[in-house]
Structure 1
Amino acid sequence: MASLLACKFILLIGLQFLSLTAAQASPCRPYCGNIPINYPFGIDEGCGSPYYSHILVCSDQGKLELRTPSGRYPVKSISYSDPHIIVTDPFMWNCLDGDSFRPTRPFSLDTSTHLSLSSQNDYLFFNCSEENVIVQPKPMFCERYPEKCDSSCDSSSYLCRHLPECASALTRSTCCSYYPKATESLRLMLKYCASYTSVHWRNTGETQPDDQVPEYGIRVDFDIPVTTRCLQCQDTSKGGGTCGFDTKTQSFLCLCERGNVTTYCNDDSISKRTRNGVIAGTVTGVSVAGAFGIGAGIWYFKKVRAKAPVTCGVQSNENRLF
């Protein structure tokens, strides 16, 4: 009986260790839902560039969100050829709202990151107080007051006259277009306007004038920090690894199937490092839980073996555990 219990205990510990090791060697997830996750982003610890660590969050349901100081926003798409992210803000005005306006919040980005609001965004504000906001047809106003031109909210803008997807959604409300220079100016506008929305211009690949179409959403541009080590790591002739980083030191790591290296996957001249932080918690799990469990198993096995022989299946020199 003791022998049988010892076998079960040892097998259980062995399986736990193998599962932790397998999780440790898993590559970074390349998708969240149907959205590709490539360098410089990552949704697992230690994946991608440290500049974008913890910026993208992937839920268990495969929903990708962008985390900013003003909240978490659903990601609609990511482009790596023309580096940008399109996000939606559920608090912004949409066609279904019509003349009904809900409380909203100003969208903002962390200035310490490599993210920036795209100049391809246009912002529409609704029912602004003309006592506090300059609401004028921009061409006429700029001719009369060129020094105040940048601070005016254009009431004759193309987008106000042609709201994307719902040109006649507003029947009683006023609309004007204004590009905020900073988050503070956006907050100030919302203090005197009922609501706002963001429209970005999507490139269609067609010839002018059909090369761009307006769509609701916020375009966020990002930089791709390219380094020689990352290019070597991704090179398929050198092993085709994934660019990542050490979660403690923030230094570069090439994440490979066999472990982490500081160069590229096929470089056998250096010892492989453990996959530190590629899957959250696996390193700690192996080093503490795994080591403790295996140590306890060895101790228990030796104690039982001193009293009775242990046979896990057919014992031979080939399948002997210790």
Structure 2
Amino acid sequence: MAEMLKSVAVTLVLCSLVPCAWGLACWDTCGNLQVKYPFGTGPGCGDPRFQSSVSCVNQKLMFTSHSGSYLIVSIDYTNTVIYVADPRMSTCMEMQQSGSFGLDWTAPFKLKNDVFVLLNCSASSSLYNPQSFLCDTGSAHICTSLYTCPGVQGLGIPQFSPITSCCVYTPVNLGSANEVNLAKLGCESYTSIYNFGDDTTDPLRWRYGIKLQYNYNLDNNNFPSACADCEKSNGICGFTSPYNSFVCVCKNGVNTTTDCYGQVSYFSRGTSNGSAATALWLTGFVLAIPSIWRFVLQFL
């Protein structure tokens, strides 16, 4: 009991000197990416509907679905688009056996103009069923270009081979499982192209990756507008249990229901506000010590 009270006392004293972040630990960056609503860097940050899909792991912003976790390489907040990289996806320079890619039904994401190309597919694949032919024959030139890539040899396919084992799978049909299941489709690998640049015949200049559109205006129109005010005040949008209510997380560790205007940053430096705050903490520190120890000593 005595040791526990001593620990409490030390904690209270330290919090007098350096305010403890009783609020949420939310950050506006993850690695080199800016993180804004609807995304968050940890529990209680951003929009609750995105919590299971996007997270900051070891300073890398990751997108997660039932098929795996993928690095988010960039975010276009204006057009509500994220770009993710699948490390097992093939590109012109390196082709390899890939896993499947899928989206969770409950997650607010959908594919955005991606061109999925399935590679080294078996002749018996359901893709080539005459009753439900799933390959875009009008885009066969994409397969032709890809099979000129040096990386195609990584799939055991000689360069400039016939493109009979290649399928431009567009528009992408994710099916009832909401995924491109390579094993089921009888293909060894896939690539996704979201931008052909200024030369649709040069696969070395194409941009490979998965472009996902996100939608956050689902059922709570007040959340985005409240969040805009929060971010303007240099706060970070978050939510709190038990009802996922909106909170604005300020950089001094305080959570508010509106914005961070008027909140003094505990960590400001070189400003009059920072000096005043520091003086206030030191005063509180000096005044708090005798009272805290008197409280502890009565139990010893």
TM-score range, shorter chain: 0.5 to 0.7
The TM-score with structure 1 as length reference comes to: 0.63
Q: Tell me if 1:132 matches 2:128.
A: no
Q: From the superposition, tell whether residues 35 and 17 of structure 1 become closer, same or farther in structure 2 (CA, over 3 Å).
A: same
Task: Kindly name which structure, 1 or 2, has the bigger radius of gyration based on alpha carbons.
Answer: 1
Aligned to 1:33: 31
SS at 1:13 equivalent: helix
The TM-score with structure 2 as length reference comes to: 0.67
Runs of 4 or more above 6 Å deviation:
8-11
Aligned residues of 2:110 and 2:214 also touching (Cα < 8 A):
yes
* Cα drift, residue 59 of structure 1: 2.5
Q: From the superposition, tell whether residues 114 and 161 of structure 1 become closer, same or farther in structure 2 (CA, over 3 Å).
A: same
Aligned residues of 1:122 and 1:198 also touching (Cα < 8 A):
yes
Match of 2:143 among 152, 155, 160: 160
Could you say what the CA RMSD is over the residues aligned between the two structures, in angstroms? Answer: 3.9
Aligned to 1:68: 65
* Cα drift, residue 44 of structure 1: 2.2
Q: Tell me if 1:251 matches 2:249.
A: no
List runs of 5+ in structure 2 lacking aligned partners.
1-5, 199-204, 264-290
Q: Tell me if 1:175 matches 2:166.
A: yes
Identity of aligned residues (%): 27
SS at 1:127 equivalent: strand
Instruction: Figure out how many residues of one structure are paired with residues of the other and give that number.
Output: 249
* Cα drift, residue 301 of structure 1: 2.5
Aligned to 1:210: none
Aligned to 1:302: 298
Q: From the superposition, tell whether residues 125 and 218 of structure 1 become closer, same or farther in structure 2 (CA, over 3 Å).
A: same
Q: From the superposition, tell whether residues 187 and 239 of structure 1 become closer, same or farther in structure 2 (CA, over 3 Å).
A: closer
Aligned to 1:274: none
Aligned residues of 1:106 and 1:190 also touching (Cα < 8 A):
no
* Cα drift, residue 258 of structure 1: 6.7
Match of 1:90 among 64, 75, 87: 87
Question: What amino acid maps onto 2:167 in structure 1?
Answer: C
Q: From the superposition, tell whether residues 218 and 300 of structure 1 become closer, same or farther in structure 2 (CA, over 3 Å).
A: same
Aligned residues of 2:28 and 2:236 also touching (Cα < 8 A):
no
Aligned to 2:279: none
* Cα drift, residue 92 of structure 1: 1.8
- Measure the CA separation in 2 of the matches of 1:176 and 1:31: 39
* Cα drift, residue 94 of structure 1: 2.9
- Measure the CA separation in 2 of the matches of 1:219 and 1:108: 13
Aligned to 1:262: 257
Aligned residues of 1:128 and 1:192 also touching (Cα < 8 A):
yes
List runs of 5+ in structure 1 lacking aligned partners.
1-7, 137-144, 207-212, 269-294, 305-322
